[in-house]
Amino acid sequence: MPTETNWLNPREARAWRIFVNAHKQLEARLHRLLLQDFGLTGADYEVLAVLSEHPTGRIPAQDLRDLLEWEKSRLSHQVRGMEEEGLIIREPNPADGRSAMICLLPAGRRAIQEAAPEHVANVRRHFIGLFTPAELDTFAALNERVLNHLAEEPFPGAIRS
């Protein structure tokens, strides 16, 4: 155990600060646009995006959670809210009495179809469009190293389903 702390030097501190801020501010901007222009939160959009990509628009709650990497209670709260708004609906899963199917309603499909073009355009404008294809790959590889390292050292209770 080092009693002396190995503080970040300026180069390291800069890289860390910019890494954190870039994501935070971009996410905030995109969520804000989404909410202001279409009345959808980022969470709403993610759920609708997954459901609308499925041809049937119906998937088991468990699968949805795995795709989103969400906790089960989070999905439960989120789904309750979206059900009240009439975007989706819960139905019993005939294959397993404990499970639920999450089903896209017409209003939900309409909402994602309206929002997606502008949202994708915003992602292009604020992120994709800033880089060449080669830079995108470099960027992804660097970020991926962070993800892989986290996955290698799992946390006690990492995904508490």
**Chain residues that interact with a second copy, rule: CB under 8 A:** 2, 5-8, 11-12, 14-16, 18-27, 29, 32, 69, 116-117, 120-121, 123-124, 126-128, 130-131, 133, 135-140, 142-147, 149-150, 153, 155
**Rounded alpha-carbon distances, angstroms, from residue 18 to 2, 14, 35, 73, 95:** 27, 6, 25, 32, 48
Task: Decide: is 160 part of the binding site for DNA (CB under 7 A).
Answer: yes
Asked if 42 touches DNA (CB under 7 A), the answer is yes
Rg (CA), the chain: 19
Helical pair 106-126 and 42-53, crossing angle rounded to 10 deg:
110
Shortest distance in whole angstroms from residue 44 CB to a second copy:
16
Which residue, 49, 31, 55, is CA-closest to 113?
49
What is the nearest approach in angstroms of a second copy to the Cβ of residue 41?
Answer: 15
Q: Which residue carries 């946390």 as its tokens? A: 155
Position 76 contacts DNA (CB under 7 A)? yes
Give me the least distance between CB of 136 and a second copy, in Å please: 4
Shortest CB 72 distance to a second copy, Å: 16
Q: Smallest Cα–Cα separation from 103: which of 120, 86, 123?
A: 86
Contacts to DNA by CB under 7 A: 28, 32, 41-44, 60-62, 65, 70-81, 90, 93, 96-100, 160-161
